[in-house]
Structure 1
Amino acid sequence: MDMFIITKVVLFLLLPPSILILMMGVGFIIIKRHYRIGRVFIFAGFSMLYLLSIGPVSDAMIRPLESSFPSLHKVSLKFGDRPNLIVVLGGGALDLSWVGVRPLPSRTSVTRLVCGITLYRQTPETILVISGGSGNPETPNISEAKAMKGVAVALGVASKAILLDEDSRNTVESAKNLKRLNGNKRLFLVTSAFHMKRAIAMFKKTGFDPIPVPCDYKSEQKRITIFSFIPHAGNLQNSSTAIYEYMSLLWYKLRGELS
């Protein structure tokens, strides 16, 4: 089996809510024979599910990732320092063939793309590079880059100003494939703020000198009230995303693929 698919499956099982459901399931199975251990598994699963689903916890987990780099408007670039490449990393695509609609970029991909297009309009004579094949083993034939290009063209970006990388399934492959597609080392790198720390490290390891352009922020600046402690699926998703990033940073660091 492809190592890429194996990694995806293992990560899926280790991330919430899957790992928490497994913990509680094991607890219910063994509680009759091993009451104390079973109770610990069930209590731990429910407690972690609750904590990861509330705003203060999810924000505390994902914010350190999102604050790794300042937003671009806080960075002043001289005209001569501006790269001529804007690389937008894909964040998923939707297979809507069941309703007769061509594949569309996910919400994450659209957010990154809009950020890239905004920068493209501010930096004349740049090339917009959209990177992303299919990072989802369930939809291996869907091209994130192609779906995103359709939206970019619809928003007024000239087709000739867009370069596609449709072969990359993850960030490491995006960096390596881009090195083969284009020799320029200096570039703008557009991706979600929570993903930027890993993306920058991988691109630097490959030999690039990227300027981070973070977008798609998940954490918010809001005061804590009683409503902050009501569980929400969005908070659980943010917590899961943060855990995935921390695990990925550790995994790729051990493999020597981070700068």
Structure 2
Amino acid sequence: MDTFLVLKVLAQWALPPASMAVGLVIAGMLALLRWRRLAWVTAAVAVLETLALSWPPVCDALILSLEREARARASAPTCCYDAIVVLGGGITPAAPPFTLEPDLGDGADRMWYAAQLFHRGVAPYIIVSGGGFMAENNGGPATTEAEAMRRFLKDLGVPDRAIVSEEKSLNTIQNIERVRDMVKDGRVALVTSAYHMRRSLAIAQRLGLQASAFPTDFHLPAAARPWWENWAPNPASLSWSVVALREYLALLLDRRRGG
């Protein structure tokens, strides 16, 4: 198992809701050892952490701090770039024989925005970057993110000749590395979710990719939601909080891995 997979597994268990399960198991073990006060404290921390991250104001504070920088660094959609680059993360590839079609995720706005930019003439072609954990299935179901994005972009009116696929990368660092190798010193319009833009630009700068920010998939702020959704803990807020915490964790680890 390589470092990327190890970090993925550790992050999954270190964050809610899995971290609550881990905390409760540890609390149960402490109770069996008759360390009951410590067991109660451990259980309470595990539950309160999950409840806090499910609370909309906490979620908003975490995710919007990432998006503010994306807004500040966003570029105007004007001509001309050598390519529009769409990073993986907005679509789940097919997984035959279980699913034969890709599934659009919360970040699918990335592809829609890239298609809009292409139709405005921002760049002559789009690079879609993202691999998959299943074997390539040429001519069959789209088992890589890049192939899934390519087919979706075609449905959005982007001609096949204007789409270039990079199907080997499995994380953001690999996305940027492989795109840089493809475009060399070219200028690219980098399209990704707003919460992901800060880290993507930092990696691009470190690896020598000339990228301008074109963020999308912004989190809906409290002012745009019904008031009753802004105070009760809910699964959507927990999901966004976990997304933000994963970004902060990745920013820390990416910085340590930088040269």
Confirm or deny a common fold (TM above 0.5).
Answer: yes
1:13 aligned residue = 13
Residue pair 1:191, 1:215 contacting (<8 A) in 2 also: yes
For 1:129, give the aligned amino acid: I
Residue pair 2:93, 2:144 contacting (<8 A) in 1 also: no
Alpha-carbon distance between aligned partners in 2 of 1:161 and 1:71, rounded to the nearest angstrom: 30
1:247 aligned residue = 249
When normalised by structure 1's length, the TM-score is 0.88
Residue pair 1:146, 1:166 contacting (<8 A) in 2 also: yes
Instruction: Kindly state the Cα deviation for residue 111 of structure 1 after the two structures are TM-superposed.
Output: 1.6
Alpha-carbon distance between aligned partners in 2 of 1:48 and 1:195, rounded to the nearest angstrom: 23
- Structure 2's unaligned 5+ residue stretches are 137-142
Q: Deviations over 1:96-134 (max 9, x none)?
A: 5346623x1432352210011111111255211100002
1:160 aligned residue = 161
Map of 1:199-238 to 2, 5 A cutoff?
A: 199-222=200-223, 225=227, 227-238=229-240
CA spacing shift, 1:71–1:143, aligned 2, 3 Å: farther
2:60 aligned residue = 59
Q: Are 1:170 and 2:171 an aligned pair?
A: yes
Residue range with higher mean Cα deviation, 9-18 or 220-229: 220-229
Alpha-carbon distance between aligned partners in 2 of 1:140 and 1:243, rounded to the nearest angstrom: 31
Residue pair 2:196, 2:247 contacting (<8 A) in 1 also: yes
CA spacing shift, 1:15–1:201, aligned 2, 3 Å: same
For 1:133, give the aligned amino acid: G
Q: Deviations over 1:211-242 (max 9, x none)?
A: 10111112413279554332211111101001
2:127 aligned residue = 129
Aligned to 2:69, what secondary structure does the other structure show? coil
2:108 aligned residue = 110
Identity among equivalent pairs (%): 27
CA spacing shift, 1:145–1:47, aligned 2, 3 Å: same
1:101 aligned residue = 100
CA spacing shift, 1:116–1:48, aligned 2, 3 Å: same
Q: Deviations over 1:48-88 (max 9, x none)?
A: 1111111111111111101112278x744764xx3121000
Residue pair 1:185, 1:207 contacting (<8 A) in 2 also: no
Residue pair 1:63, 1:219 contacting (<8 A) in 2 also: no
Aligned to 1:230, what secondary structure does the other structure show? coil
Aligned to 2:119, what secondary structure does the other structure show? helix
Aligned to 2:188, what secondary structure does the other structure show? strand
Alpha-carbon distance between aligned partners in 1 of 2:7 and 2:229, rounded to the nearest angstrom: 37
CA spacing shift, 1:50–1:186, aligned 2, 3 Å: same
For 2:105, give the aligned amino acid: R
Instruction: Kindly state the Cα deviation for residue 29 of structure 1 after the two structures are TM-superposed.
Output: 2.6
Aligned residues, how many?
250
Aligned to 1:95, what secondary structure does the other structure show? coil
CA spacing shift, 1:244–1:100, aligned 2, 3 Å: closer
Residue pair 1:85, 1:187 contacting (<8 A) in 2 also: yes
Alpha-carbon distance between aligned partners in 2 of 1:59 and 1:125, rounded to the nearest angstrom: 34
Q: Deviations over 1:133-184 (max 9, x none)?
A: 02xx5x5653000011111112211000001100111111111111222224
CA spacing shift, 1:96–1:172, aligned 2, 3 Å: closer
Q: Are 1:194 and 2:195 an aligned pair?
A: yes
For 2:203, give the aligned amino acid: M
